[in-house]
């Protein structure tokens, strides 16, 4: 299953973001073993060096841990998962606000529209 990648961002970062999102959504569990570098490269359709860089970045961030001779595992620290979730939320909100301001919507109008949307539900949105 090869993934499609955007040209605007390095592939290793896109893969790291996907792993983080899967972790935050609960698709990858705390302490779960990740595929080997070679396996993940085959699944993603990329060079193993790209996955090595991805895993290195995730390890630097404290998201994964490599245990010599055992493999690579998602962190068991619940605080890391919470921190990642908050970070993703803030980034999404920031992008939304910037987009709304970019089309000329004032902050009080943004609040009103979001409240209205939440009160009415999102079933009409397509």
Confidence of residue 58 (pLDDT cuts 50, 70, 90): very high
Q: How large is the average pLDDT for residues 56-66? A: 96
Q: What percent of the chain has pLDDT over 90?
A: 88
For tokens 């609960």, the residue is 26
* Cβ partners under 8 Å of residue 30, min gap 6: 23, 74, 75, 76, 77, 78, 81
**pLDDT tops 70 at residue 46:** yes
Q: How large is the average pLDDT for residues 36-59? A: 96
Q: How large is the average pLDDT for residues 2-6? A: 77
Query: Taken in order 55, 37, 26, 94, is the CA torsion positive or negative?
Result: positive
Q: What percent of the chain has pLDDT over 70?
A: 94
Q: What is the mean pLDDT of the chain?
A: 93
Residue 126, pLDDT score = 44
| CA 90 – CA 20 distance, rounded (Å) | 15
For tokens 């961002």, the residue is 9
Q: What is the DSSP string of 24-69?
A: HHTSS-TTPBPPPHHHHHHHHTS-HHHHHHHHHHHHHTTSEEEETT
Residue 124, pLDDT score = 53
| CA 60 – CA 111 distance, rounded (Å) | 37
Cα-trace Rg, the chain: 18
């Amino acid at each position: 299953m090869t993934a499609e990648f955007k040209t605007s961002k390095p592939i290793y970062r896109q893969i790291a973001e996907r792993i983080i999102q899967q972790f935050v959504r609960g698709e990858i569990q705390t302490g779960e073993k990740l595929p080997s570098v070679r396996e993940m490269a085959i699944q993603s359709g990329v060079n193993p060096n790209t996955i090595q860089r991805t895993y290195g970045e995730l390890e630097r961030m404290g998201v994964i841990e490599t245990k010599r001779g055992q493999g690579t595992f998602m962190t068991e620290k619940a605080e890391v998962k919470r921190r990642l979730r908050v970070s993703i939320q803030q980034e999404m909100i920031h992008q939304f606000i910037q987009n709304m301001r970019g089309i000329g919507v004032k902050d009080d109008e943004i609040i009103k529209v979001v409240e209205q949307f939440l009160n009415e539900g999102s079933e009409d949105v397509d």
